[in-house]
Chains A and B, each alone.
Chain A
Amino acid sequence: MRMNTIKSYGMLLAVLLLGISCDSPKKQIDISPEDLHNSVDRVTEIMIHDIFSPPVASRIFAYPNIGAYEVMALANQDYQSLVGQVTDLTPIPVPTDTTGLNYPLAALITHIDLSRRLIFSEEMLTSYRDSLYAVWETQNPTSFMTSKTYGLTVADHIAAWMDKDNYKQTRTMPKFSVNTDDPSRWQPTPPAYMDGIEPSWNKIRPFLIDSAAQFKPIPPPPFSMEPGTDFYKEVKEVYDISLEITEKGDDSEEIKIAQFWDCNPYVSVTRGHLMFATKKITPGAHWIGITKIASRKSGYGFNETLFAYTKTSMAIADAFISCWDEKYRSNLIRPETLINQYFDDQWEPVLQTPPFPEYTSGHSVVSGAAGLTLTSIFGDDFAFDDDTEEPYGLGTRSFQSFNAAADEAAISRMYGGIHYRAAVEVGVDQGRNLGQFVIDKLKMRK
């Protein structure tokens, strides 16, 4: 990731330093899949900086991909538009001026511009964009201008659709009401005791599924802290696992797995008056990273890469909507709260408990959906080395298939001490059911 960023900066610098002779022949602006990867990576970095919660982050990945994909599909007979497949999407405007129109370039510009609208720290993206613009403009001003004009027109079109997905309205919807009198009800967890995030995310318009509740999972085991009940056993299991793996130490496989899949965008740390946060990518971003790895490994070109990103990011986004629908239906209390109450008031999970109800596990649902979607693109027997978390000091893990990675991501939440077994197992199923639906429904490659 870093290497490529540096490389493209280097190229840019070279171009700037050499100076451009005015008479040099106009070149074809070549947009490679790396350009798309770089752009996605850039947005991922900004999202970390801006601290987007996992559901919101999934939305930020999806729209720019769809916008770019629609541009690409317009000019490419191998791909079919998402109009008619994705809720409320209408056909993008046809370009009025095709003089030198470079569709991949226009698609990339659409992607960047929609990303810009979605993130907060715009200048972190516009500086990147402007340096690319400068390169492209010197390479072929006419082609750049036409492509830019068209790319931005499409971005406007997609943005208008995007603005109607209820995101704005959900900002002013009620907060989750804490009621500690109900022993089963989720309550804020240490150390930051943050409000439950995105309690109305099920009101967001999904991309592909009919409704947020379409893949409504079975309810969690009935709440009871009577020893012997299923629920009690699940709480106890989380506690026992944590004792077991803590004893094994930080180098144990379980702790490595838990940390590898932590994907918590905001882990708050407090020491006295001193507070800070360690920030990482979200579960969705991790799977977007895997999509990049698979695309590269398969030697995908720009169009195929864009296709893979688009399909995966839509599955992830809908998985979050489906999962959040259940989270704020069952409003289940986290293991940390119960273990502190019933077993050990000093107990801390291996991972910091994220600020929303327990059931089902978001990472499990999303991994289930993303794993299956990627399998539909790249095949089941697809081994890969996942170095997505390298920049966060978490090393590389190798997997034989996407589904195997998804299984590990799911179980990691139990190792991490933040989920019960039901949330993980039911969650993966929920995600895979949703993923299968996405695969069956979508017709992208002709």
Chain B
Amino acid sequence: MAWRIRALISGLAFIGLSSCGPEEGSLFESRSAKSSGISFENTQTPTEDLNILDYLYFYNGGGVALGDINNDGLVDVFLSGNQTPNALYLNQGNLQFEDISQTAGVQGQSSWNTGATMADVNGDGLLDIYVCAVVGLNGFDGHNELYVNQGNGKFTEESANYGLDFDTYASSSVFFDYDGDGDLDLYLLNHAVHTQESYGKASLRMQRNYETGDRLLRNENGHFEDVSEAAGIFGGVNGYGLGISVADFNQDGWPDIYIGNDFHEDDYYYLNQGNGSFQEALRENFGHTTRFSMGSDAADINHDGLVDLISLDMLPYNEKVLKSSDGDDNVQTQKMRIEHFGYHYQFTRNMLHPNQGKHGFSETALMSGVAATDWSWSALFSDFDQDGNEDLYISNGIPKRPNDLDFIRFVSSDQIKKKINNTKLVDQKALEMMPSGLAINQFFQGDGKLHFNERTDWVGRDSTVSGATAYGDLDNDGDLDLVINNLNAPPSILINKTDAQGHYLKISPRFKGKNPFGLGTKAYAFHKDKMWYKELYPNRGFQASSEPILHFGLGAIEQLDSVRIIWPNHSYQTLTAVKTNHHLTISPEDTQPWNYASTESKNLLFTQVNDQLGLNFEHEEDNYTDFNRQKLIPYQISDRGPAVALGDLNHDGLTDIYFGGSKRKRSQTFLQTESGFIRSDFTNLAQDSIKEDVAAHIADFNGDGKQDILIGSGGGDYYKQMKPLTDSYFVSEKSGFALSDLPESFQNASVIAPFDFDADGDLDVFIGNQAVTNDFGRMPSCQLLRNDNGHFEEIPLPETNQIGMVTDAVWSDFDADGTEDLIIVGEWMAPLFFKNKGGILEKVNPLSDNPIGLWQSLVPFDMDQDGDTDYILGNWGLNSKFTASEKYPLRMYYADFDDNGQTETIVATAKDNNYYPLLSFDELSSQLVSLKKEYTSYKSFGGTSMEALLKKIAPASKPQVFEVSELRSGYLKNENGRFEFVAFDDPIQIAPIMDFCIYDFDHDGTLEVLAAGNYFGVTPLHGRLDGFSGALIEPDGHIRETHNLGLDLKNLSVRHLNLLAFNEKQFLLVTLNNAKAQIYQLK
């Protein structure tokens, strides 16, 4: 006993030591608030009537606003407290602050203050302060307060005069000039408290609610009029508004708004129509969003002149926390929420949305490394280290984790059930059972593309619950410092030590009229071929406003070639040869009108054909969900169709098209005529509808001069020796097609690759199979069928039994010996090469490394223009929860873990040098019930490594382990017959690449490879792999995304790309899963 007490004391001493005194990071020094003269602390006092149970946003904290309120050139600090008085600190230089809260008259009257903002509301050249309040809930009274700056260190509360004394559930406010009339209007963000007992229809947002509905307020000569309804702003009872970002997202000159809503309500994306109204267009512009949306920020992170967006959620990284926390919906619940209740795709993780201008947003948080930062509140993009690229700061933490599964399942019931029902008092003991949600604030260093690296070294480790955060140059040394409003602790003041190591440019726009601070001003900085772009909207992150300046980090650049300022009134001026390390104050001078339309790309290589040339094929996937049957598999196998095949089916010399149908859906045939394609099904083909057609090929297989058709069946639903799993062989007859014999194979086919490999004059066929139904993980075998006068006979292919889950194959002469060889790719395997030695295939390995991938597609192409054939490979991509490297490959364990005659798979990924199962305890134990005996709490399961887990399950037969070491798409570079894998650049890695198409799309005399993909057959754990528009891969490896070229395939799941000649013009046929096929005319 005694030693335990000693240990406790020494432990306390340690904590004491580590928490006193400022902490040093490599980039930021933590200043103690007290030594700076900032004595504010947002102390919360939970009572019987007011705690996390009574008020769901009890822990959201106060606000912070930075700005120079007395125009002395020093940034002052305003902090709002929930239950404590607000505080205003005057910057006296040398990081010393004077508390003028009392004399300034900004301490506030409201019971519960939230977000704070500084803005010159009346346009007199002095920053005013607006503080939101939650009113009408839990006995909270008061109203939002507007402290109008009198210019003498004093403020007067005049919210009523301005029409801004709202008594609602306000969380944040943003002043901006939405209608371009020169004064500042207001968006007021309110949050809902509606019970979560049921979702309710999404259309609830249409009915306005006083307390919870957001408001747009138009400034009419100093009085703010509610124009929400006319302006098209939702104001429903379900808008849990926590995040707001304002920016000109679509570059049309009018500020747009992104609203992050917590819980099941969709986020809103309001596009400013320029006529006083907004169009909500989330679905049209975002494939998916955060689910429990918190704070957000908007900035151009990749130097393309478009404002990108991050929205925060609450996904933990730490395994113990992750596996103890309530996670994603299951597939069916999600489907119901979307299809039945009308919500959009939402997933529990941070979302990083690179902006594609008028083509909406992609999403790359997993690929970018910023998806899981735990209970996150504020996000701020800024170039903290001034290396020329935007970095990212995220504030974190919650005093208690209410989504802790042990609390939900095991603790809460006994302890608080009665209390809640009877007295509303949370038993202190029960609260103590909720684990602490302390999580450190995080910094990520950006690379100017789409990647961020966590920099734990930038700042000392904090032990605070941090929320609202604002940046500003507190010490006027050019770099940006941070002020963080913490819960029940003094604010954190992080002083940036970059100083002169990286150069900077600060711009303070001075605009005219009622917007002297020039909110909405845009600035481009140019240096050589690099561009930086910023917009002045100081409200960023969460419940906060930052110093109203434009700050550029510029690395070693001494002088910028030019800086272009675009003023809120759509005029611009250009400064040339701008020195860096400089604070520029700039007013409109010699301005020219700025034409936003001129920035649009006109160079379209693809033009969608509206009448489709008559090819009105819509693939309809059947209702089968793999995860309902094989609950632990990593992805579906039932949605790899449809098949498409081109060929002359009616012997008229024109290319016709066959589209396969999903299970119990008819295939469709379109015959080409001079005026277009006409649907004309062949009876036998169409009637074979019970099968799911995944692969097809049209060719003359029986040598009668007419085209026959081979169809590979799959679909992942039929199992064992069920007839609909067999492939079909239809031979051309006088009036259509007749079914002919084919060796039986009861596997899910994926590819049909014909070639006369034995050079006997007829077409032989390789059929690749992807999976064995109900036994995911068992590797199917492939078939090599030798053609003998139109009859196929299976002949053994060496060493191909269970080679992997084959997805694609080509016959191509990889060794340049004049005969075509066979190359096969698939999932959980490396590309396989079979050398054709005069009709005998021999397995060889010309790979210089061993890239085991989740390969989806393969095409021969001379990437490096050196005259030999390289092979372009489509892989899974990087934007999912799968991770893989040579050192830490993705792993899949396959066995009948519970010895019940049915196999299971457990997928594991490496994290901090250890492997962990990817799925949650509930998912795993729903299949492997014995786990519930081994782990009787989520906490005990949390942090369990795969190794430890396997010891507990110990199946009768040792699990087979499959690995994936490479998830990136790329190409096999041919170096004198040896092949080395080279990965492509980022945009290609956003999603699985399902097919390629080679053509000189831009008529520059060299061929390009068009890549397309996206895939939705994953659980909400991964989200939706939907963010890839398509891209042209130039022979030099340069990647051009196609959304600006007329081809935007985001949010569509591409299966095939085919070139199609019609009336001497070239077209691209894009065949999609579960959607209408698309036709594009090529330039």
Instruction: Find out whether the CB atom of B900 lies under 8 angstroms from the CB atom of A276.
Output: no
Instruction: Find out whether the CB atom of B408 lies under 8 angstroms from the CB atom of A276.
Output: yes
Instruction: Find out whether the CB atom of A169 lies under 8 angstroms from the CB atom of B901.
Output: yes
In the assembled complex, the CB of B774 is this many whole angstroms from the nearest CB of chain A, namely 10
Instruction: Find out whether the CB atom of B332 lies under 8 angstroms from the CB atom of A178.
Output: yes
Instruction: Find out whether the CB atom of A277 lies under 8 angstroms from the CB atom of B196.
Output: no
Q: CB-CB contacts of A373-394 with B at 8 A, as 1s and 0s? A: 0000000000000000000010
* B1038 on interface, CB distance cutoff 8 Å: no
Given contacts A271-B53, A272-B196, A275-B402, contact A122 B417 (CB under 8 A): no
Instruction: Find out whether the CB atom of A273 lies under 8 angstroms from the CB atom of B56.
Output: yes
CB-based nearest B residue for A169: B900
Selected from B403, B623, B900, the residue in CB contact (under 8 A) with A172 is: B900
Q: How far is the CA of A348 from the CA of B193 in the complex (A)?
A: 18
Given contacts A49-B410, A171-B926, A177-B623, contact A188 B336 (CB under 8 A): yes
CB-based nearest B residue for A124: B936
Q: How far is the CA of A179 from the CA of B326 in the complex (A)?
A: 25
Instruction: Find out whether the CB atom of B326 lies under 8 angstroms from the CB atom of A50.
Output: no
* A76 on interface, CB distance cutoff 8 Å: no
CB-based nearest A residue for B329: A193
* A77 on interface, CB distance cutoff 8 Å: no
Q: CB-CB contacts of A260-282 with B at 8 A, as 1s and 0s? A: 00000000111111111111000
Given contacts A175-B332, A187-B336, contact A168 B898 (CB under 8 A): yes
Instruction: Find out whether the CB atom of B201 lies under 8 angstroms from the CB atom of A277.
Output: no
In the assembled complex, the CB of B374 is this many whole angstroms from the nearest CB of chain A, namely 13
Instruction: Find out whether the CB atom of B56 lies under 8 angstroms from the CB atom of A272.
Output: yes
Q: Which among A51, A123, A176, A195 has the highest number of chain B CB atoms within 10 Å? A: A195
Instruction: Find out whether the CB atom of A178 lies under 8 angstroms from the CB atom of B402.
Output: no
Q: How far is the CA of A278 from the CA of B629 in the complex (A)?
A: 30
Q: How far is the CA of A274 from the CA of B200 in the complex (A)?
A: 19
* B904 on interface, CB distance cutoff 8 Å: yes
Q: Which A residues, 160 to 188, have Cβ-Cβ distances below 8 Å to chain B? A: 168-169, 171-172, 174-180, 187-188
Selected from A120, A169, A274, the residue in CB contact (under 8 A) with B402 is: A274
Q: CB-CB contacts of B405-416 with A at 8 A, as 1s and 0s? A: 001111011001
Instruction: Find out whether the CB atom of B57 lies under 8 angstroms from the CB atom of A123.
Output: no
* B609 on interface, CB distance cutoff 8 Å: no
Contacts of B899 in A (CB 8 A): 168
Selected from B336, B902, B927, the residue in CB contact (under 8 A) with A178 is: B336
* B198 on interface, CB distance cutoff 8 Å: yes
* A130 on interface, CB distance cutoff 8 Å: no
* B330 on interface, CB distance cutoff 8 Å: yes
* B526 on interface, CB distance cutoff 8 Å: no
Contacts of A176 in B (CB 8 A): 628
Q: CB-CB contacts of B885-904 with A at 8 A, as 1s and 0s? A: 00000000000001111101
Q: Is the interface of A mostly helix, strand, loop or mixed?
A: loop
Instruction: Find out whether the CB atom of B198 lies under 8 angstroms from the CB atom of A180.
Output: no
CB-based nearest A residue for B197: A191
Contacts of B410 in A (CB 8 A): 49
Q: How far is the CA of A345 from the CA of B336 in the complex (A)?
A: 16
Q: CB-CB contacts of A105-125 with B at 8 A, as 1s and 0s? A: 000000000000000111100
Q: Which among A193, A272, A393 has the highest number of chain B CB atoms within 10 Å? A: A272
Selected from A120, A270, A393, the residue in CB contact (under 8 A) with B196 is: A270
Q: Which A residues, 3 to 55, have Cβ-Cβ distances below 8 Å to chain B? A: 49-51
Instruction: Find out whether the CB atom of B332 lies under 8 angstroms from the CB atom of A50.
Output: no
Q: How far is the CA of A276 from the CA of B413 in the complex (A)?
A: 7
* B195 on interface, CB distance cutoff 8 Å: yes
Q: How far is the CA of A275 from the CA of B406 in the complex (A)?
A: 11
Instruction: Find out whether the CB atom of A275 lies under 8 angstroms from the CB atom of B56.
Output: no
In the assembled complex, the CB of A266 is this many whole angstroms from the nearest CB of chain B, namely 8
Q: CB-CB contacts of B290-332 with A at 8 A, as 1s and 0s? A: 0010000000000000000000000000000000001000101
* B791 on interface, CB distance cutoff 8 Å: no
Contacts of B292 in A (CB 8 A): 273
Q: Which B residues, 558 to 576, have Cβ-Cβ distances below 8 Å to chain A? A: none
Instruction: Find out whether the CB atom of B629 lies under 8 angstroms from the CB atom of A174.
Output: yes
Q: How far is the CA of A49 from the CA of B409 in the complex (A)?
A: 8
CB-based nearest A residue for B630: A172
CB-based nearest A residue for B627: A175
In the assembled complex, the CB of A18 is this many whole angstroms from the nearest CB of chain B, namely 26
Instruction: Find out whether the CB atom of A279 lies under 8 angstroms from the CB atom of B199.
Output: no
Q: CB-CB contacts of B44-67 with A at 8 A, as 1s and 0s? A: 000000001101110000000000
Q: How far is the CA of A412 from the CA of B416 in the complex (A)?
A: 26
CB-based nearest B residue for A393: B418
In the assembled complex, the CB of B157 is this many whole angstroms from the nearest CB of chain A, namely 31
Instruction: Find out whether the CB atom of A277 lies under 8 angstroms from the CB atom of B413.
Output: yes
Given contacts A188-B336, A195-B330, contact A345 B201 (CB under 8 A): yes
Q: How far is the CA of A174 from the CA of B927 in the complex (A)?
A: 11
Q: How far is the CA of A389 from the CA of B417 in the complex (A)?
A: 15
Q: CB-CB contacts of A413-441 with B at 8 A, as 1s and 0s? A: 00000000000000000000000000000
* B933 on interface, CB distance cutoff 8 Å: yes
Q: CB-CB contacts of B1045-1082 with A at 8 A, as 1s and 0s? A: 00000000000000000000000000000000000000
In the assembled complex, the CB of A357 is this many whole angstroms from the nearest CB of chain B, namely 14
Interface residues on A, range: 35 or more
* A395 on interface, CB distance cutoff 8 Å: no
Q: How far is the CA of A352 from the CA of B409 in the complex (A)?
A: 16
Selected from A174, A193, A276, the residue in CB contact (under 8 A) with B412 is: A276
Instruction: Find out whether the CB atom of B197 lies under 8 angstroms from the CB atom of A171.
Output: no
Given contacts A123-B936, A278-B417, contact A191 B196 (CB under 8 A): yes
Instruction: Find out whether the CB atom of B936 lies under 8 angstroms from the CB atom of A188.
Output: no
Instruction: Find out whether the CB atom of A177 lies under 8 angstroms from the CB atom of B628.
Output: yes
In the assembled complex, the CB of B206 is this many whole angstroms from the nearest CB of chain A, namely 13
Contacts of B339 in A (CB 8 A): 180
Instruction: Find out whether the CB atom of A179 lies under 8 angstroms from the CB atom of B623.
Output: yes
CB-based nearest B residue for A187: B336
Instruction: Find out whether the CB atom of A171 lies under 8 angstroms from the CB atom of B200.
Output: no
Contacts of B200 in A (CB 8 A): 345
* A99 on interface, CB distance cutoff 8 Å: no
Q: How far is the CA of A177 from the CA of B336 in the complex (A)?
A: 11
Given contacts A122-B933, A187-B340, contact A275 B927 (CB under 8 A): no
Q: Which among B197, B410, B627 has the highest number of chain A CB atoms within 10 Å? A: B197
Instruction: Find out whether the CB atom of B332 lies under 8 angstroms from the CB atom of A190.
Output: no
* A396 on interface, CB distance cutoff 8 Å: no
In the assembled complex, the CB of A346 is this many whole angstroms from the nearest CB of chain B, namely 8
* A229 on interface, CB distance cutoff 8 Å: no
Contacts of A171 in B (CB 8 A): 898, 900, 926-929
* A340 on interface, CB distance cutoff 8 Å: yes
Instruction: Find out whether the CB atom of B631 lies under 8 angstroms from the CB atom of A273.
Output: no
Instruction: Find out whether the CB atom of A276 lies under 8 angstroms from the CB atom of B336.
Output: no
Contacts of B333 in A (CB 8 A): 188, 193, 195
In the assembled complex, the CB of B951 is this many whole angstroms from the nearest CB of chain A, namely 18
Contacts of A121 in B (CB 8 A): 936
Instruction: Find out whether the CB atom of A276 lies under 8 angstroms from the CB atom of B904.
Output: no
Q: How far is the CA of A410 from the CA of B285 in the complex (A)?
A: 52
Q: How far is the CA of A187 from the CA of B408 in the complex (A)?
A: 24
Q: How far is the CA of A297 from the CA of B340 in the complex (A)?
A: 53
Selected from B199, B409, B927, the residue in CB contact (under 8 A) with A190 is: B199
Q: How far is the CA of A367 from the CA of B408 in the complex (A)?
A: 30
Q: Which among A276, A277, A278 has the highest number of chain B CB atoms within 10 Å? A: A276
CB-based nearest A residue for B192: A272
Instruction: Please provide the 3 A-B residue pairs with the shortest distance between their CB atoms, ordered closest to farther.
Output: A272-B56, A276-B412, A190-B198
Further 9 A-B residue pairs, CB within 8 A, beyond A171-B898, A174-B629, A188-B332 = A121-B936, A171-B900, A171-B929, A172-B631, A175-B628, A177-B623, A271-B195, A340-B198, A345-B200
B-to-A contact residues, CB < 8 Å = 52-53, 55-57, 193, 195-201, 292, 326, 330, 332-333, 335-337, 339-340, 402-403, 407-410, 412-413, 416-418, 420, 623, 625, 627-629, 631, 898-902, 904, 926-929, 932-933, 936
Q: List 25 A-B contacts (CB under 8 A).
A: A49-B410, A120-B932, A120-B936, A123-B936, A168-B898, A169-B902, A172-B900, A174-B629, A177-B623, A177-B625, A177-B628, A180-B336, A187-B336, A188-B333, A193-B336, A195-B332, A272-B57, A272-B196, A274-B53, A275-B402, A275-B403, A275-B408, A275-B412, A276-B407, A348-B197
